[in-house]
Structure 1
Amino acid sequence: MLTLSVAVAFLVRLMLVLLFLPFSALDKIVNFRGAVGQAREAVHATAPAVVLILIGLCVEIGMSLCILTGYFDRAAAFVLAGYCGVTALLWKQFWAPGDFWAGGKGRELFWDFLKNFALAGGFLLITFGTGAGTVESFLANPLASSNPYAVAAPRP
């Protein structure tokens, strides 16, 4: 049962980060020019766009590995939650096309926008836990691990 518990904990975390590691990170590496082009839509200059993509690459790889390994996982999940929110605001601007009610690009972006925030919510569950009492422990020690692979001894 111990092996099953650890496997489930790992698979849940893997499902959360799978979008970033390996897929989004690999896409940024293989299609770096295209990623920079997309970033230029937000910053309108090549140098800052390159910096944004490199930062994004580091966040996607580094924070995902922290979440999977359990080292600094709460802080890493907090960073990825913010990353999801920022990318939604910068690149999923459903309000910009002005065709939301006509079912055009705005409506497609709306669902992507909501998915980003739903994913951020999943990361915040790692950050803060599932109960109100766990928020204070994160605020008191934000770099502490949530010890995701520790199994409590059964109660007598």
Structure 2
Amino acid sequence: MTLSWVATLAIRYLLVVLFFPFSALDKALNFQGAVGQAQQVFSARPMAVALIAVGLGVEVVMPLGILTGVADRLAAFIMAGYCGVTALLFKRFWEPGDFWAHGDSKGRDIFWDFLKNFSLAGGFLLITVGINGAGLLAFLANPVASSHPYIAP
């Protein structure tokens, strides 16, 4: 085990720790509460249940792919999309209508979560295509291939 291997694992874990184990565990332990939150966007209960179940699966399986290096580029790409979609669906900072108000603002509070989701998406896309984008063609050619994160170059 080299220092670069440990650094790579630590960096990847910092990207996924919000989702696995914490958000996934919260969804599992408070499934009905999560469904209730989803029903604020999708009023049909079966749709809300399906979305939370899919979200739970994404939050468990994709981080494991990123951490292990198994189809890590695809897992990171899916996580980037997940972050973007959840930001647009559940971090709707424009709805309270008080974004530009002086003093406390629910809209501005939500905005920081919205930006956090898109920042995480950027981090996941760095795993997908690499720091300089050189991995884009490799990802497009074989999306399920590993980036072999723990093998020294």
TM-score bracket, shorter-length normalisation: over 0.9
Q: Report the AA paired with residue 144 of structure 1.
A: A
TM-score w.r.t. the length of structure 2 is: 0.96
Residue of structure 1 in register with 2:61 after alignment? 62
- What stretches of structure 2 of length at least 5 have no aligned partner? none
- What stretches of structure 1 of length at least 5 have no aligned partner? none
Q: Is the 8 A contact 2:19 2:59 kept in 1?
A: yes
Residue of structure 2 in register with 1:100 after alignment? 99
What SS does structure 1 have at the residue aligned with 2:40?
A: helix
Pairs within 5 Å for 1:34-45: 34-45=33-44
Q: Is the 8 A contact 2:128 2:135 kept in 1?
A: no
What SS does structure 1 have at the residue aligned with 2:132?
A: coil
Residue 3 of structure 1 and its aligned partner are, at CA, apart by: 2.0
Pairs within 5 Å for 1:6-155: 6-102=5-101, 103-152=104-153
Cα distance between partner residues in 1 of 2:72 and 2:133: 19
Cα distance between partner residues in 2 of 1:28 and 1:133: 36
Between Structure 1 and Structure 2, the one with more helix by share is 1
String of CA shifts for 1:59-117, please: whole Å, max 9, x gaps: 00000100000000000000000000000000000111110011411001111100000
Q: Report the AA paired with residue 65 of structure 1.
A: L
Cα distance between partner residues in 2 of 1:141 and 1:51: 29
String of CA shifts for 1:107-152, please: whole Å, max 9, x gaps: 0111110000000000000001111332111111111111000013
Percent identity for Structure 1 against Structure 2? 62
Root-mean-square deviation (Å): 0.9
Q: Report the AA paired with residue 62 of structure 1.
A: V
